[in-house]
Amino acid sequence: MRISPILAASVLALALGAVSFGAHAADPDGFYVGAGAGQSMIDEDFADDEDTAFQVFAGYQFNRYFGAEAAYTDFGKVDVTGNVGELEADSWSLVAVGTVPFTDRFSGYAKAGFHDWDAELDVPAVGPADDNGTDPTYGLGLQYRFTDNLSLRGEYSRFEMDDVDVDLAQLQLRVDF
């Protein structure tokens, strides 16, 4: 069987075009901002509850594989076991973000870093009590780029606060500049 030169050239052109397809995708380097909303969850002896949480973030994507991100997170309020009071917490975080592109628009990412948290326990019979600290935070997420500047992210993160773990599942919008 003989392959015609036109067919061979066409197959080669298609193959080269497919290989270079990702090279024409937008370069994700630069600054970005975003916001997210979701559910914070705590599962400890003194509290087993969840509430609506919000996050705003800003970051810099150094290349398609690595970035850094700062965020403010409001975890909301959860009830203390026995309905004797409420626990409220918020946090400022700084994390490194590693990204694995699956396609030119869809990627996965992992983040790890530290957060500075502040928590307030309000028990009416006793009064308020504050605590704060700096502990590790980490998470995993998926991102889909609708355009070169707008992405939707789904993320699951854990924020350690001394011996207490607060989990956060959220959807985020990211805007790149």
Domain ranges within the chain, ordered by starting residue:
5-176
Q: Distance (Å, rounded) from C-alpha 124 to C-alpha 171?
A: 34
**Tell me, which fold does domain 5-176 have in CATH?**
Porin (2.40.160)
Q: What is the pLDDT of residues 7-45, one digit of tens each?
A: 455 544 544 444 444 444 456 789 999 999 999 999 888
Summarize the confidence of residues 140-147 as an average pLDDT.
97
Q: What is the pLDDT of residues 54-105, one digit of tens each?
A: 999 999 999 999 999 999 999 999 888 777 888 899 999 999 999 999 999 9
pTM of the model: 0.81
CB within 8 Å of 138: residues ≥ 6 apart: 95, 110, 111, 112, 113, 157, 158
